[in-house]
Amino acid sequence: MAAEKVGIAVIGCGIVGGSTAKLLVRDNELLKNKIGIDLNLKYIVDVNFSKAQKMGLDPALYETDLNKVLADPEIEICVELVGGTTMAKDITEKVLRAGKQVVTANKALLALHGTELMAIAREHGSAIAFEASCGGGIPIIRALCDGLSANRIDAFYGIVNGTCNYILTEMIQKGQTYADALAEAQKDGLAEADPTLDVSGGDSSHKLAIMSALAFGKHIDYNKIPVQGIDTLDLTDVKYGAELGYIVKLLAIAQRTDKGLNLRISPAFISKEHPLAWVSGPFNAVSVYGSNVGHTMYYGRGAGGFPTASAVVADIASAAMGITKIQFDKMGIWPDKTEAALQLPLEDYESKYYVRAMVKDEPGMLSKLSAILAEYNISIASALQKEPTAGSNSAVPIVITTYSTTEGNIRQALKSIEELEGISEKPVYIGIVDEHEEFSS
Amino acid sequence: MAAEKVGIAVIGCGIVGGSTAKLLVRDNELLKNKIGIDLNLKYIVDVNFSKAQKMGLDPALYETDLNKVLADPEIEICVELVGGTTMAKDITEKVLRAGKQVVTANKALLALHGTELMAIAREHGSAIAFEASCGGGIPIIRALCDGLSANRIDAFYGIVNGTCNYILTEMIQKGQTYADALAEAQKDGLAEADPTLDVSGGDSSHKLAIMSALAFGKHIDYNKIPVQGIDTLDLTDVKYGAELGYIVKLLAIAQRTDKGLNLRISPAFISKEHPLAWVSGPFNAVSVYGSNVGHTMYYGRGAGGFPTASAVVADIASAAMGITKIQFDKMGIWPDKTEAALQLPLEDYESKYYVRAMVKDEPGMLSKLSAILAEYNISIASALQKEPTAGSNSAVPIVITTYSTTEGNIRQALKSIEELEGISEKPVYIGIVDEHEEFSS
């Protein structure tokens, strides 16, 4: 029996688009054996085919006219890999309105316009799949939607930006400054020439918005997510953290509480015992806490051509088999079907904290700091006055770790500390993330 | 619009059966919101309902007559949680012949009779789902079949028995002997009164057979898998391994080579840097290497009532949505559709090895050992003569690590070494598992 055949167009032929096209062609037989369907790549749509040529993709596939693709009844699935949120949005809408299914890796598009696009898909009897939008090749969207469907998700913690994790790993393991580690990442092709979207946490927050919507079954306002990147991180704090048994990671944090959702992107200290602590280099991982399953974790390459194409093609396979459409039609988790989440302000976020203040080397400073923390009901877990650091004008660092308090309290306390006489610069604070309690109800 | 309703029977009400029933009842509303279907538990089938009563499950659900359940047209899905391979096989066949879908957590049943049962399912237009059979609550079956569908799986390495991993963790962290750690696990309810199936590696080999069939798309002969458990593991070797930077784990190893499949269960040393090394206590994890995605890993609780029920109910949800049936019909990976794998003999398995020989404390012994290893083309990476251990009758341990060689070579060499004068007991060897090379073709 001849295998069923499904026509596919890849729109946008950059690294991920080229790898997706290559995978579909090279592994066609493997895929046919696995899923029983001939995934037939018919078009590569772009205006520039230099990448396609470099990857040895058949010029007979090259097409510049999207309308021709949309008018072709054999095309059932279009893969949007254009990137950005303007042209990509326009293309995605057109594909959906043509009743064809969309597979995309575009996190920005989904974080900003996912709800609207899903509504359009629903209106036109179509569907959208986006495994590759979060965590590269890790099947984390499937875990949240399908594998853990029998759970209320209580929290998740993700390392979802490979560039940041690579830079942090270099800072931790080689003692490089942020600037040096960034330069090296750029040299190795692991950071963009303009790394802002990665290092400022923007890319991570796109992924957090997408994953949170599915995990909690709520519509997320992307613009309300507090975002802090790694670009202001001082090597000094990375080192002091390590001495205290902590590894610094840029975390996408999502916690369900009785009051609402805590969502944030920020550098955080995690214990060396935590499963996320050893996720190093460009790898990504997400720890998910389900009400019935407890702690599960998913690990893999968060970027790169073929790892990302692996997720894109898994979506193509599901779409071709009709599974994407069933999930999109039946399940109630999609943002166009759900209520708005109550997103809690950052001030309400509860955590232990690491605090470093640079003080004049004279008696009584620690006592003054402690008094201010006490004023804000912040209990001290440990406090240490360190040796003066070079070039710090004889100021010495006091490093304090606190018991759990709110971000609001810690901020107000540090504001008061900053105004003390003998404080030479703005104090630094970093949240300490403990292992989330399993089966917390 | 009222949600679609699907009738479900849970057959066998032990810990997992009771937890599954409880989850279906307690979380009915949550599940309805997520998947858009009312998962209606209609029967709990057993002969003894003490567990069901203890869990507060409604006696109106209790049913002793399986035939009544099979004759009920509202029942679309039966969950087989009876355990064992005799009655469970009989029940599963009956359910499939009645055209109802089966969800099961029964690894022994699938490892021994999976092919036959799938053929029966196919004949009767039914399907079988078995996420909970491997790795408890970890969605590892979904990763192999669905999330990584765009990959040829090159290898996987799994910690898939929580009892063994708990015992090994106690040996490593507390320096307990195997016997003491087992006794403690039994006291804590983490090992059965008769722990044979777990500690001898049998349970792990069931899971290896199931995962290998799906990962490699081949029919696996379960009886051909070489199995070694942790019950002969000496604390001495755990300690020496730790000194060399290794952690001992009971691994389910599956490697695709040009010649065939290497499948085995055995204790192995893995580097402290390997992601599997920190998987401690009762947790499970599987590292999977895909041709396009590279290394991915899946981590979570490998046993326990609700974690396992999480996987069972995810399967119920997929079956109710019609997804299980599509995958079972279309995909070519199921063992009743695939060819027999070429399973390589253990002698061909290639690895680095740790070797410990107890020798008479006299000059020249290391030289004699080295000569024998050289005779079998085994290169030495490190060699160390340790202090005599207490009660060893003045014998001293020589600890050697080798470069890569075959299991056949190491066995023959150790047989020769055993026959040397001055060797006081059978030498011990343990494979050293390096990080598998990503993207190896």
Residue A287, φ and ψ in degrees, nearest 5? -95, 125
Q: Are A88 and A106 in contact (CB under 8 A)?
A: yes
Mutate to test the interface with A, among B103, B140, B149, B279 (most CBs of A within 10 A): B149
Identify the closest residue of chain A to B303 by CA–CA distance.
A293
Position A273 scores a pLDDT of 87
Contact indicator for B102, B82 with CB cutoff of 8 Å: no
Which residues of chain B lie closer than 8 angstroms to A31, CB-CB?
Answer: 149-150
| A331/B147 touch (CB, cutoff 8 Å), yes or no | no
pLDDT in tens, A102-114: 999 999 999 999 9
* Chain A residues near residue B139 by CB distance under 8 angstroms: 142-143, 146-148, 296
Task: State the best of A293, A321, A328, A435 to mutate against chain B, taking most chain B CBs within 10 Å.
Answer: A293
What Rg value do the Cα atoms of chain B yield, rounded? 24
> CA–CA distance from A306 to each of A132, A420, B6, B35 (Å)?
11, 54, 40, 31
A404-421 residue pLDDT tens: 999 999 999 999 999 999
> Contact A34/B307, CB-based, under 8 Å?
no
Residues of B in contact with A146 (CB under 8 A): 139, 142, 146, 314, 318
Q: What pLDDT is attached to residue B136?
A: 96
Spatial distance between the Cα atoms of A399 and A396, rounded to a whole number of angstroms: 10
Q: According to the model, what pLDDT value does residue A209 have?
A: 98
- Nearest-CA distance B107 → chain A (Å): 18
pLDDT of residue A363: 86
Nearest by CB to residue B137, choosing from A146, A294, A309, is A294
Q: Which of A139, A291, A331 sits opposite B148 (nearest CB)?
A: A139
**Yes or no, beta carbons of A35 and B139 under 8 Å apart:** no
Return phi, psi of residue A358, to 5°: -95, 115
- Assess whether pLDDT exceeds 80 at residue B3: no
Per-residue pLDDT reduced to its tens digit, B323-357: 999 999 999 999 999 999 999 999 999 999 999 99
CATH 3.40.50.300 fits A140-300, yes or no: no
- Which of B293, B304, B307 is facing A301, going by the closest CB pair? B293
Does the pLDDT at position B430 exceed 80? yes
Return the CATH class of domain A347-433.
Answer: alpha beta
Distance CA B368, CA A315 (A): 59
Using the 8-state DSSP alphabet, how is residue A282 labeled? T
Per-residue confidence (pLDDT) for residue B408, from 0 to 100? 97
> In the structure, what pLDDT confidence band is assigned to residue B213 with cuts at 50, 70 and 90?
very high
Q: Inter-chain contact A34–B331, Cβ cutoff 8 Å? A: yes
Q: What is the mean pLDDT of chain A?
A: 95
Spatial distance between the Cα atoms of B165 and B251, rounded to a whole number of angstroms: 10
- Cα separation of B359 and B365, whole Å? 7
Chain A residue with CA closest to B278: the answer is A275
Alpha-carbon distance A83 to A97, whole Å?
19
Contact A38, A3 (CB under 8 A): yes
pLDDT score, position A441:
59
Q: What's the rounded mean pLDDT across residues A319-323?
A: 98
Q: Output the pLDDT for position B162.
A: 94
Residue B440 has pLDDT above 80, yes or no: no
Question: How far apart are the two ends of chain A, measured CA to CA in Å?
Answer: 52
**Which CATH class, in words, describes the domain spanning B140-301?**
alpha beta
Rounded Cα distance between A23 and A310, Å, is 8
* Contact between chains at A137 and B27 (C-beta distance less than 8 A): no
pLDDT for B404 equals 97
Name every chain B residue with its beta carbon within 8 A of the beta carbon of A331: 34-36, 321
Where helices occur in A217-322 by DSSP H, the ranges are 235-243, 305-321
Contact at CB, B327 and A321, closer than 8 angstroms: yes
Average pLDDT, chain B: 95
Position with higher pLDDT, A363 vs B200: B200
Q: How far is CA B110 from CA A243, B208, B219, B322, in A?
A: 49, 11, 12, 22
More confident residue, A171 or A1: A171
Q: Which of A94, A207, A218, A352 is catalytic?
A: A207
Within 8 A of B313 by CB-CB distance, chain A residues are: 149-150, 292
Q: Is B33's CB within 8 Å of A321's CB?
A: no
Query: Two tokens at B216?
Result: 């490699």
Tell me which residue in A295, A304, A318 faces B300 most closely, judged by beta carbons: A295
Query: Exposed (0-12), middle (13-18) or buried (19+): which is B295, by Cβ within 10 Å?
Result: buried
Region of B198 on the Ramachandran plot (φ > 0 left; ψ -120 to 50 alpha; else beta)? alpha
pLDDT tens column, B352-383: 999 999 999 888 999 999 999 999 999 999 99
Is the Cβ pair A137, B299 closer than 8 Å? no
ipTM value, please give it: 0.96
Average pLDDT over residues B56-76: 98
- Give the pLDDT of residue B363: 86
- For the ranges A393-397, A433-437, B54-58, B159-163, the lowest mean pLDDT is seen at A393-397
Residue A189: which pLDDT band, with cuts at 50, 70 and 90? confident
Q: Is A54 a catalytic residue?
A: no
pLDDT of residue B424: 85
Confidence of residue A386 (pLDDT cuts 50, 70, 90): confident
Helix axes A305-321, A15-26, angle to 10 degrees: 60
* Confidence (pLDDT) at A408: 97
pLDDT at A391: 63
Residue A387 has pLDDT above 90, yes or no: no
Question: How much is the pLDDT for A390?
Answer: 65
Q: What is the pLDDT of residues A263-299, one digit of tens each?
A: 999 999 999 989 999 899 999 999 999 999 999 999 9
pLDDT at res. B386: 82
Domain residue spans of chain B: 4-133, 140-301, 347-433
Mean pLDDT of A201-229: 97
Q: Quick one: what percent of chain A has pLDDT higher than 90?
A: 93
- Distance from the Cα of residue B151 to its chain's centroid: 21
Q: pTM to 2 decimals?
A: 0.97
DSSP string, B227-267: B--STT--HHHHHHHHHTTEEEEEEEEEEE-SS-EEEEEEE
Which chain A residues are Cβ-neighbours of B31 within 8 angstroms? 149-150
pLDDT of A177 strictly over 70: yes
Please give, rounded to a whole number of angstroms, the shortest distance from the CA of A287 to a CA of chain B: 9
Does the distance separating the beta carbons of B295 and A306 come in below 8 Å?
no
Which residue, among B29, B292, B301, would best test binding to A if mutated, counting the most A CBs under 10 Å from its CB? Answer: B292
Closest residue on chain A to B328 (Cα): A35
Q: Of B207, B218, B249, B368, which is the active-site residue?
A: B207
**8 Å CB contact of A296 and B293:** no
DSSP B344-404: PPGGG-EEEEEEEEEEESSTTHHHHHHHHHHHTTPPEEEEEEPPPPTTSTTEEEEEEEE-S
Query: Is domain B4-133 annotated with CATH 3.40.50.720?
Result: yes
Cβ contacts (< 8 Å) between B306 and chain A: which residues? 292-294, 439
Q: Is the Cβ pair A294, B327 closer than 8 Å?
A: no
Nearest-neighbour CA in chain B from A376: distance (Å): 38
Q: What is the rounded distance in angstroms from the CA atom of residue A361 to the CA atom of residue A7?
A: 72
At A394 the pLDDT is 75
Most confident of A120-129, A389-398, B361-370, B394-403: A120-129
Which residues in chain A have their CB less than 8 angstroms from residue B213's CB? none
Check CB contact under 8 Å for B139 and A146: yes
- Taking the CA of residue B96 and the nearest CA in chain A, the distance in Å comes to 23
Residues 6+ apart with CB under 8 A from A250: A159, A161, A164, A165, A168, A201, A204, A229, A230, A265, A266, A267, A268
| CA–CA gap between residue B179 and residue B86 (Å, rounded) | 32
State the pLDDT at residue B2.
61
